[in-house]
Amino acid sequence: MSRPAEWLQRVTVALEALEELTTPVVDRAMLEKLLGVQRRTAIRLMRRFGGYQAGRTFLIDRPALLRQLRKIASSGDYALDVGRRERLGAELGRARRDFAVRRIVIPVAPDLAERQIEGLPATIRLTAGRLEISCSDAQDLLRQLMELAQAITNDFERFETVISLPLGK
């Protein structure tokens, strides 16, 4: 099955714009803007819809173009494509909202970037071969893990010394 043409989603907008025009013909450049297509696609569509070439310019009678676009808009394929795009848009919107709800904001101390092992809160205890964190809830645990990670990044040698088991154990 071939991929639906992208310009189909703009048919309704193009119809509204064409109905407001008073010119008897539409040129290729106007069709490009109306349907959001490239030059070659506009020429192909103009030929398909009964357009003609006058010198080096491609033209189509505005009433003929209106009839063709109305025919497309009333077809089952157009309704299916529009419905598919609306369902996809709605699903993407739900996914974005769900993602936004799951995003976690962890409040951190202003001096987090300079955190050292010696400056960790008393709720984080590092001893040889052991890490212990006391927390009040998930947010608190995540905050403390961020502090620990930053302290390890800034002061790895001290972390390694504190956490390493003595030789022979």
> For residue range 66-102, what is the model confidence (pLDDT) as tens digits?
998 898 888 776 667 777 777 887 888 887 777 665 6
Fold of 6-100: Arc Repressor Mutant, subunit A (1.10.10)
**Which pTM does this prediction carry?**
0.48
Give CA–CA dist 131/119, Å, rounded: 15
Instruction: Give me the residue spans of the domains in the chain.
Output: 6-100, 112-163
Reported as a pLDDT band with limits 50, 70 and 90, residue 1 is very low
Give which of 40, 37, 62, 41 is closest to 51, Cα–Cα. Answer: 62
Angle between helix axes 11-20 and 28-35 (nearest 10 degrees) is: 130
Give which of 66, 53, 54 is closest to 22, Cα–Cα. Answer: 66
Q: What is the DSSP letter of 137?
A: S
Question: From residue 91, how far is each of 61, 80, 97, 131 by CA, in Å?
Answer: 39, 16, 10, 43
Tokens 């106007």, residue located = 30
Give which of 104, 121, 103 is closest to 112, Cα–Cα. Answer: 121
Q: What percent of the chain has pLDDT over 90?
A: 41
pLDDT tens, 116-161?
Answer: 999 899 999 999 889 999 999 988 898 899 899 999 999 899 999 9
What pLDDT is stored for residue 26 in this prediction? 93
Tokens 């022979």, residue located = 168
154 Cβ partners below 8 Å, 6+ apart? 114, 115, 116
What pLDDT is stored for residue 110 in this prediction? 81
Give CA–CA dist 37/45, Å, rounded: 10
